[in-house]
Amino acid sequence: MPAKKTTKQAAPETLPEPRRSVAFIGSECYPFVKTGGLGDVMYALPRALTKLNCDVKVILPRYRCIPQKYQDKMVYRGEFMMDLTLDGRQFYVGIMEMVMDGVVYDFIDNEEFFSWGNPYTDLVEDIPKYCFFGKAALAALNYMDWIPDIIHCHDWQAGLVPVYLRTLFADTPVSRAKSIITIHNLRFQGIYSVSHIQYWSGLPDYVFDHAHLRMGDNGANMFKGGLAYSDLITTVSATYADEIQTGFYGENLDDHLRYHREKLHGIVNGIDVDIWNSSTDKLLAAPYDAKTVLKEKKANKLALQERLGLEQDENKIVLGLISRLTDQKGLDLVNAVFPELLDGNTQVVILGTGDRQYEDAFRYYESVNKGTVCAYIAYDESLAHQIYAGADALLVPSLFEPCGLTQLIAMRYGTVPIVRETGGLKDTVEPYNEYTGGGNGFTFDRYEAGLLLDAVIRAKTVYFTARERWDAIVVRDMEKDVSWDLSARQYRELYLKLKP
């Protein structure tokens, strides 16, 4: 039946030309396995790229800890034996495949390497594991006869991929691809002795020189090799791209990165706005949008307080913190001023796991402030959603932060970020301006506990004495574009630059 004349037909979305094929290679990807922001990016960026006419395959290890419901959906795609070590030991490579929302996921199967409960154990285990994974990923592309335009590698676990591509795979079909490596966190590099990495990777002597993998006298660095051999390097914010070329943030690779700076680009992360959507989020007590946030946030706050055993009072300001509990995240600053954060009108909710010293310190503060402080020492996706919705402000005082996703999610949920001006925090949170009332959050620059406290006090002053200004920040934050749209376009531009 022909459409009625009055019905407006949505114009078919025109995809940008030309089409590009990309293989993502990395060690974690939501919802299969996620320990941090890398897992979010490996999920969301491929999906955003498919909307920009990219054909994306994501190659991951098939860890035993991937939930059974996903394991059940994988189909067998093939298998082969691959030599790996210097003495030519052969290893089984299985390929299991799954398609979800237009993205193809290929899982590299090998029980010897991937049968642990966690993706990461310790370097002794992880170095052989990711030598195997990097080589198996390229061998799998050849095996499947799927040669992408671009191979996009993520963090040190995929560091050897660009190295393999230009050495042991140089005469194979996959070498037609160009490579990009993205630095999600420079702190972790995959460093071990030359003999160990050379044994497990089977790579030739010449890659272990100072321009490529060598660190110091006898060390080899997988990430350093990947940065040297890739055609382009990206990192997850423009500020972090500058910072890592300095001694303070460079993690001993600042000179290497300065040498390669012509190929280094900063592209800020987005978040998946379907997963992080407060108006459809089934985990929330009261879903809301920018029009209803001021009312419904209170309902979410009361529900959060009830769930966590805090005093139920919508007038208290609730400060949230959702983080790995490690030195990177500025927790020594939080620890140092913790008693001063509390003033009778403030509650603090911490969700995280990590270093024992922080877990114990936050548990202690909970024990002496029952009803006011909650230290929830766990990894809990649903509680994370409820904190983003129920808290008024989110603390992110990081020592360094390549991009940071928690401040983006917070803004999307109308929770005002209080951040240190570093890396992606600096690029995504515009400081509140008391003269114009503009800005997205409260910020401080030097890494000092007193400055964190000062930023919290400034935030509380606006919250308690100029609520209409606070509310304007909340609404502005919810309306800020934190999606992948723009950033995915920037990645596509780089892909086209490599393969016009």
Binding test (CB under 6 A) with ligand ADP, winner from 111, 125, 255, 381: 381
Among 53, 71, 353, 490, contact with ligand ADP (rule: CB under 6 A): 353
**Residue 380 near ligand ADP by CB under 6 A:** yes
CA nearest neighbour of 200 among 213, 188, 187: 213
Nearest approach in angstroms of CB 130 to ligand ADP is 18
Closer residue to ligand ADP in complex, CB, 36/102: 36
Choose between 132 and 156: whose C-beta lies nearer to ligand ADP.
156
Residue 405 near ligand ADP by CB under 6 A? yes
Residue 323 engages ligand ADP in binding (rule: CB under 6 A): yes
- Tallying the residues shown for the chain, one arrives at 500
Could you give the residue ranges of the DSSP H alpha helices within 88-237?
111-114, 123-144, 160-166, 194-201, 222-229
Determine how β-strand 178-183 pairs with β-strand 232-235: parallel
406 lines the binding site for ligand ADP (CB under 6 A): yes
Q: Is 429 in the site for ligand ADP (CB under 6 A)?
A: no
* Min dist. Cβ of residue 29 to ligand ADP (A): 13
The distance of closest approach from Cβ of residue 119 to ligand ADP in the complex, given in angstroms and rounded to an integer, is 13
270 binds ligand ADP (CB under 6 A): no
Near ligand ADP by CB under 6 A: residue from 186, 197, 308, 384: 384
> How far is the C-alpha of 158 from the C-alpha of 95, rounded, in Å?
17
**Smaller CB distance to ligand ADP: residue 161 or 384?**
384
Nearest alpha carbon to residue 374 among 356, 394, 355, 348: 348
**According to CB under 6 A, which one of 44, 48, 177, 351 is a site residue for ligand ADP?**
351
Q: Which stretch binds ligand ADP (CB under 6 A): 120-128, 241-249, 302-310, 317-325?
A: 317-325
Q: Distance (Å, rounded) from C-alpha 35 to C-alpha 40?
A: 9
Residue nearest to ligand ADP (CB): 37
Which residue number, 190 or 404, has a Cβ lying nearer to ligand ADP?
A: 404
Instruction: Provide the strand spans (E) within 241-367.
Output: 264-266, 317-322, 346-351
Cβ atoms 376, 383 nearer than 8 A? yes
Considering the rule CB under 6 A, would residue 260 count as an interface residue with ligand ADP? no
- HSE value, Cβ hemisphere, 13 Å, CA-based, for 278: 28
142 binds ligand ADP (CB under 6 A): no
Tell me the C-alpha distance between 299 and 288, whole Å: 10
* Helices 449-465, 331-341: inter-axial angle, 10-degree rounding: 50
Q: Which residues pair with 319 in a beta bridge?
A: 348, 393
CB atoms within 10 A of CB 181: 28
Query: Which of 266, 404, 439, 441 lies at the binding interface for ligand ADP (CB under 6 A)?
Result: 404
Q: Does 324 bind ligand ADP (CB under 6 A)?
A: yes
Contacts with ligand ADP by CB under 6 A lie at: 36-37, 40, 322-324, 351-353, 379-381, 384, 403-406, 409
